[in-house]
Amino acid sequence: HCADRCNRDGAVAAISGAGLVMYFGHASDVGLDGYHGIALEEKTLDQPIGVFVSWSCNAIFGRCAFAIRLVQRGLVSAFVGTIDPAARTQDNRALAEISADCLALDNPRTVGDWMVAIDDSVQTHDDAQLVKAWQQFRIVGNPDQPLPRARVSSS
């Protein structure tokens, strides 16, 4: 796990210019709490990130929501996260798994298409808490941001 081995600069270098970054961990209104704490807007990215997904609480919550600042500063084209300041880890884990399945199986073209595919999949689950958790997720930035093409290999 990079969070245990990487310093801030190493983690930022690893995601700079990525088409899709998924973060699973704790967040606050100033940034990511993993990787010994990262306020991305204070870091220099060689290239902006296409889509950043935060499976954590506080991503788009509060006056100082870091997701909004990342998009406004051009560091991220589209940010997906929850407005729920108390998002449950088990819900985020399930949603992350559903999102990965949708990414691999549906091969959506844009982040907006991906969100629709996730929504369709979540609605098929008999789990009211999961549906409620998903309803708290939003896109900040460009919903037409292209996703990197999935590469599926068979062994």
Per-residue confidence (pLDDT) for residue 152, from 0 to 100: 46
Sequence-ordered alpha helix ranges (H) in the chain: 2-5, 8-15, 66-72, 89-106, 111-123, 128-134
33 vs 29: CA distance, rounded Å: 10
Rounded mean pLDDT, 102-123: 95
Rounded mean pLDDT, 36-40: 56
Span 116-149, pLDDT tens digits: 999 999 999 999 999 999 999 999 999 999 998 7
Helix (H) or strand (E) run with residue 45 in it: none
Span 46-99, pLDDT tens digits: 788 899 898 887 667 665 577 788 888 888 899 998 888 777 888 989 999 999
Please give the residue that has the higher pLDDT: either 132 or 26: 132
Q: For residue 84, give both structure tokens.
A: 């729920």
Per-residue confidence (pLDDT) for residue 70, from 0 to 100: 82
